[in-house]
Amino acid sequence: MADMICMKRKWSLWFSAFLLAKGIFAQPDTIPPVLPDPAIRLEDIFQDRDEAAETFDFNTLFENQARYLKRPLQLNKAGELELRESGLFTEQQVMRLLQYRDISGPLLAVYELQAIPGFELSDIRQILPFVTVGSELADLQLSPKQWFTDGRTDLYLRWYRQLEPQKGFLPPSSPESSFFEGDPNHLYFRVRHVYQNRFSIGITAEKDPGEAFFRGSNPQGFDFYSAHVFMRDYNKTLKAVALGDYSVSFGQGLILNTGFGYGKSPSSMDIKRGGRALSAFSSVNEASFFRGGAATLGLGKNWETTFFLSSRRRDANVSEAADPEEGELPLSITSILLAGLHRTASEIEDEKAFRQTTAGANLLRRFPKGQIAANLVYDRLDKTLSRNPQPYNLFYFRGDRLLNLSIDYAWRVQNLHFFGETALSDNGAMATINGLLAGLDRKIDLSVLVRHFSPRFQTFYGAPFAETTGANNETGFFLGAEIRPIRLLRINAYFDLWKHPWLRYQTDAPSYGHDWLLRFTFFKKRSWEAYWQIRGETKERNNPVKTDNTNTLATRDLFFSRWHLSFQLHKSLELRSRLEWGRFLNEGAPGPQTGMVFYQDVLYKPLGIPFSFSTRFALFDTDGYDVRFYSFENDLLYSFSIPAYYDRGSRFYFNIRYKGIPNLTLEARYATSFFPGNLEIGSGVSSTPGDTRSELGAQVNWSF
C-alpha cells in the first residue's frame, strides 16, 4: 500500500509541477466561488421534504468557507474534526487524506490530492480557493488581547421589502380580521468578530416583515436578538467554551442536533453526522439553538467531555384557562411553534409562552482508529405539554420532563468506516442508526445505513439522517454509491426503502415508501461542468378520493429529470442553464400532474472593475404545487434563497455588487415573479392581489 501511494505521489508531483509551470496555480477564478455542489444538495433536500424547511436559516451554513477565502485551511495541519466541519470534503475524502498524510507525509502541492482515491480534478478545483498546503508555524496559545487585535470584524446591515402590499398590511375589513402590527420591511443586523476558527463574539438581530420595530410589542427594537461568545482550542484542557447562544450536536443526532445535517442528496456518501459537539450560533433561526453556557474539556490524552445548560422562552399555543367560576386550571401547551413570526395579535400572544430548560453532557473516548461516546440530555418545561389528541400523535411526548440517553461510535478498519448511535427515551423506547462508508476501489465508494426508530421514542432535538424529521416511527435501509469510471465522469446513486409502523399526519395507517436517485456528472477542467439527474419517489398517503367514511391509503409517485450545464466562457463570465421536467401521480386521482422549468443564469465580474452582477430568467409551467421545483438563487453576499417554482409563470432577479472602497461591499437585489391571469398570489394574511410579486433588497458589509 505504501509503495503504491509513493508511486502515485511521484506522478502527482510531476503533474503538479507541469501545471505550475503553465501558470494555472497563479490564476484563481475571478468569479467568487458560490459553492455549487452544496447549493444543489440543498435543492434536493428541499425537494425531498414534506415538511416546511423554512425554520432553518441556511444562510449561515457556509460561514467557514467564507472565512477560508480570507485565511485558507491548512491541509497539512488540519485535524480530522476541522477537515470534516469545513464542509469542503466528504467523509471518505477526510479519511483518505488523513491516511495519505500518515503514510507519505505532508502534501507538497494542492494538486497532489489527485494521488488520493476519491479526489478528482473537479473536486480540487472547487476547494482550491479555500485551502493551502503552506507550512505556517503552529499557533501558540494566544492571549485574549490577541484574539481581538489579530482577528477580523464584519458588520452586516441588510434590508428587504416586498413591493406589493400583503393582505396583512391592508386595513382590516372587520374587527376580527388579522392584520400585521409592523411595517413591510425586513431588517437584519449582525456584527461578528472572528479570529481564525478559534474565537468568535457577535450579536445578530432581525425583524421580519410585519413585526413591530421600536413600538408595540417590540419597544426594544428588533423582534429577535442573539449574542454569543465562543472560544475553541485554547489549550489541551480547555477545548471549547460557549456563552450566550450556541449549537450542540451529539453522535448521529438521535437525541440532539441543533445544527443542520444534510439529508438525502446527490452526494450519496454524505450520510454521517459528525464534527465538534459545540459551535457558535449566529443564525436567525428562532427555534433550534440553546441559550446559556457550555464547555468541552480534555481529560488527558484520549478522554473528552462536553456539558451544557440552557434556559430560554419559546413560542407555543396554550390552552385557555378554565371558567373562573369553577376555578382556574394551569395553562398547558397544545403545540410548540417554530416559525418565529410575531406579526398578528394571535402570533404575539403565542410569543415566549413557556420556558424550556435543557441540560446535557457527553463523555468521549478516542482510540487510534475511532471513538465511542455516552450522551445524556434532560429537558424540563414550566408548563405541561398536552397535545390535542389525534390517532397519529398518540405516542408523541406529553408532560413536562424528558430524559434521553445514547451511545455513539465511529471506527475505521482500513477502507471501511463504521458509525452509529443507539438511544433510549425515559419511557423505555429505543432508536438506533448504524452506517458504513466503504472504499471498495479507487473508483468506487459505497454507503450503507440502517435505522429503526420506535413510534414511542421521544426527543425534542433529534435530527438524524432519515426520511422524516425527528427520530420516531421509522424503519429504513439506505444504499448509496459513487463511481468514477473515467477522469471526466462521476456517477452518484442511492436507493432508500422505509416504512412507518404507526400512523402519521394525513396517513391514517402504517405506510411504506422508497425513493432513488441517479446522477451522471461530466466536466472539463476550468471550462464546463454538466450533469443529468433522474429521481423518483413512491410513498403512501390518505386517498384524496373517499368512497366511505374510512380513510384508505393511496400511492403517490413523483419523478423528476434534470439537465444542468455550467459553462465558463471567460475568466469573468460564467453561464448556467437548467431544464427540469417532473411528473406527479396520485392513485385514485383523475390523472397525472406534470410540469417543467427552464432557467438561464449569467454571472459576470469584469476584470479591473469594482462592479459585478448575477442574473436569472426562469420560465415554469406546472399543473400545481405537487409538481414544484426548488432552485438555488444567488442572493446578497453570504445569503441565498431556494424558492419553489410552480404554477405557470416566470421569475427574474438581478444582483449587483460594488467593491470599489477598501473593506466595504455594497449590494442590491431586485427579484420579481409573474403569474399571468392570477388574481391573487399566496394565501391568508401573506397573500397579495394581482399577478406579480416583487422584492427589493440591499446590503452593506464592512470589514475591519
Mean pLDDT of 182-197: 91
Q: Which domain holds residue 80?
A: 1-136
> What's residue 62's pLDDT?
61
> What's residue 141's pLDDT?
61
CA–CA dist 43, 582 (Å, integer): 15
Residue type, 302: N
CA–CA dist 211, 217 (Å, integer): 8
CA geometry: angle 51, 56, 58, nearest 5 deg: 120
> What's residue 519's pLDDT?
95
The per-residue b/e assignment along 85-95, b for 16 or more CB within 10 angstroms, e otherwise, is bbbbbbbbbbb
CA–CA dist 168, 181 (Å, integer): 9
Confidence of residue 636 (pLDDT cuts 50, 70, 90): confident
> What's residue 54's pLDDT?
43
Question: Which residue is listed with cell 468521549?
Answer: 364
Confidence of residue 36 (pLDDT cuts 50, 70, 90): very low
Mean pLDDT of 263-270: 84
- In terms of Cα–Cα distance, which of 89, 409, 84, 422 is closest to 275? 84
Name the residue with higher pLDDT: 542 or 86: 542
% of the chain surpassing 90 pLDDT: 51
Residue 613: in which H helix or E strand, if any?
strand 611-622
Query: What are the DSSP calls for 395-430, one per residue?
Result: TS--EEEEEEEEEEEEEEETTEEEEEEEEEETTS-E
Confidence of residue 525 (pLDDT cuts 50, 70, 90): low
Mean pLDDT of 308-337: 78
CA geometry: angle 178, 184, 189, nearest 5 deg: 125
In tens, the pLDDT along 425-455 reads: 999 999 999 999 998 888 899 999 999 999 9
In tens, the pLDDT along 367-394 reads: 988 899 999 999 999 999 998 888 999 9
3-state DSSP of 66-87? HHHHHCCEECCCCCHHHHHHCC
DSSP 122: H
Cell of 226: 442573539
- In terms of Cα–Cα distance, which of 232, 223, 119 is closest to 180? 223
HSE of 120, CA atoms in CB hemisphere, 13 A: 21
Mean pLDDT of 206-233: 94
DSSP 607: T
Cell of 340: 418565529
Task: Indicate if the pLDDT at residue 20 is higher than 50.
Answer: no
CA–CA dist 8, 414 (Å, integer): 18
Task: Indicate if the pLDDT at residue 356 is higher than 60.
Answer: yes
Mean pLDDT of 597-607: 92
| Residue 26 included in any domain | yes
> What's residue 449's pLDDT?
97
CA–CA dist 115, 113 (Å, integer): 5
Mean pLDDT of 572-576: 91
Question: 278-282, 356-360, 597-601 — which is least confidently predicted?
Answer: 278-282
Question: Which residue is listed with cell 492571549?
Answer: 143
Q: What is the pTM of this model?
A: 0.86
> What's residue 30's pLDDT?
34
Confidence of residue 13 (pLDDT cuts 50, 70, 90): very low
Cell of 637: 453576499
Question: Which residue is listed with cell 399543473?
Answer: 623
| Residue 273 included in any domain | no
Q: What crossing angle do the helices spanning 2-21 and 91-104 adopt, rounded to 10°?
A: 100
% helix, strand, coil for the chain, step of 5: 15, 45, 40
Q: How many domains does the chain fold into?
A: 1
- In terms of Cα–Cα distance, which of 609, 558, 574, 636 is closest to 48? 558
- In terms of Cα–Cα distance, which of 255, 253, 243 is closest to 379? 255
> What's residue 402's pLDDT?
97
Confidence of residue 42 (pLDDT cuts 50, 70, 90): low
Mean pLDDT of 198-218: 93
Confidence of residue 668 (pLDDT cuts 50, 70, 90): very high
Name the residue with higher pLDDT: 239 or 71: 239
Instruction: State the average pLDDT for the chain.
Output: 84
Taking each continuous run of H as one helix and of E as one strand, the counts in the chain are 8, 35
Confidence of residue 47 (pLDDT cuts 50, 70, 90): low
Confidence of residue 45 (pLDDT cuts 50, 70, 90): low
Residue 11: in which H helix or E strand, if any?
helix 2-21
CA–CA dist 378, 384 (Å, integer): 15
Task: Indicate if the pLDDT at residue 137 is higher than 70.
Answer: no
Query: What are the DSSP calls for 658-686, one per residue?
Result: EEEETTEEEEEEEEEEE-TT-SEES-GGG
Task: Indicate if the pLDDT at residue 58 is higher than 70.
Answer: no
| Residue 267 included in any domain | no
Task: Indicate if the pLDDT at residue 12 is higher than 80.
Answer: no
| Residue 113 included in any domain | yes
Query: What are the DSSP calls for 557-571, one per residue?
Result: EEEEEEEEEEEEEET
| Residue 52 included in any domain | yes
| Residue 252 included in any domain | no
Question: 19-28, 313-322, 460-469, 610-619 — which is least confidently predicted?
Answer: 19-28
Q: How many residues does the chain have?
A: 704
Cell of 60: 449561515
> What's residue 322's pLDDT?
47
Q: Are 521 and 531 in contact (CB under 8 A)?
A: yes
Number of CB atoms found within 10 A of residue 557's CB: 14
